[in-house]
Amino acid sequence: MTENSNPENPDRQEKNLSETPIPKITIICSAPDLASQNIKTQLLNLIEWKLLELPENSGFSAARESQDGKFRLVDIEETHVFQDGLDRKLENAGLPASLIIFASKHRSKEEISSLTVHCTGNPSDDVRLGGCPKSLAVSSPAAMKSILSEMKRLAEQKGLKYDVTLEVTHHGPTELSVPSLYAEIGSTEVQWNDPEAGEVAAKAILAVSLEKVPVAIGFGGGHYAMRQTKLLFETKISFGHNFPKYKLEFVDEALIRQAIEKSKADFAYFDRKSMKSEERKKISKILEKLGLSVLKESEIREKYEN
């Protein structure tokens, strides 16, 4: 591939941002994030990009646009999770986004090889990893389903021994009005630098579909939303915001209202075995008040079978 975006290439093609920029799917890559840089390398190798001319003091290191005009690739020097207001910053730089995909590393104590997708938000007042208290970002269930499903297909095709799973809602940024998601490689430096995992993540991102799907918000389960992931893979549905069992004590009407609106949810799903009876009752009462039904796994499978 000819890398038109190489700043040392005098023949590179630069596109002037004064040409009425339109919102595009925007991939954000962070300089200190090894997995992010791995995914970026694969993205640059997979398709051709044009380097964009950034305005002074844009706050971005570099920006590129794919030759087909579908994607932008934007470099930041900071960590992803502290990017509240990034959508406005992109727009001010002449880089408006229709969807923001954060290419990122995933870290876990278990050090499991994994490919994960999730949306962002803080169900509690804990904001150590960015965002605002009790605030949720706008999710993109269709994009999450598409990317995660393609990650699974490609990983199996390559024979990669990586868990492919949906994670629950966690960390920042939360203050984004544009839909966003994280696409991640985990969980140690070995996997973050694995070019095969990077290629799978990059290809899945480039294959993203925004075709409308039935959407659930989820309650219960662990950090890796196993039952929700299974339903995402095996039925037509996707998930927006998910709240694990260890965050249910913080879930109230205001948070559920946010989750419904910012996921454009059609119904709710409970991982019932992981929830206490009083939690189910409390959340069910709120959902009923807000006019959202709760579907059991069997009902979802019957109504939305592949």
pLDDT in tens, 95-144: 999 999 999 999 988 889 999 999 999 999 999 999 999 999 999 999 99
Query: Are residue 38 and residue 175 in the same domain, yes or no?
Result: yes
Mean pLDDT of 175-181: 98
- Using DSSP bridges, classify how beta strands 267-270 and 215-219 pair: parallel, antiparallel or unpaired: parallel
- Please determine, for residue 15, whether its predicted confidence score (pLDDT) is greater than 50: no
- Write the DSSP symbol of residue 131: S
Query: For residues 223 and 246, what is the distance between their CA atoms, to the nearest angstrom?
Result: 9
**Cβ pair 241, 259 in contact under 8 A:** yes
Count other Cβ atoms within 10 Å, centred on residue 134: 19
Query: Are residue 137 and residue 44 in the same domain, yes or no?
Result: yes
- Please determine, for residue 14, whether its predicted confidence score (pLDDT) is greater than 60: no
**Cβ pair 266, 293 in contact under 8 A:** no
3-state secondary structure of 195: helix
pLDDT of residue 75: 98
Q: Is residue 293 part of a domain?
A: yes
- Write the DSSP symbol of residue 293: -
Cis peptide before 173, with omega less than 30 degrees from 0?
A: yes
pLDDT of residue 85: 98
- Please determine, for residue 195, whether its predicted confidence score (pLDDT) is greater than 60: yes
Give the distance, in angstroms, between the CA of residue 58 and the centroid of all CA atoms in the same chain.
24
Count of structural domains, the chain: 2
Token pair 């970026």 is at which residue? 40
- Write the DSSP symbol of residue 169: S
Query: Are residue 76 and residue 201 in the same domain, yes or no?
Result: yes
Query: Are residue 268 and residue 158 in the same domain, yes or no?
Result: no
Sheet holding 267-270: strands in order across?
Answer: 238-243, 215-219, 267-270
**Cβ pair 123, 227 in contact under 8 A:** no
Q: Is residue 89 part of a domain?
A: yes
| CA-based nearest residue to 242, from 87, 117, 143, 93 | 117
User: Per DSSP, what are the bridge partners of residue 73?
Assistant: 27, 64
CATH number of the domain where residue 289 is located: 3.40.50.10700
pLDDT of residue 11: 37
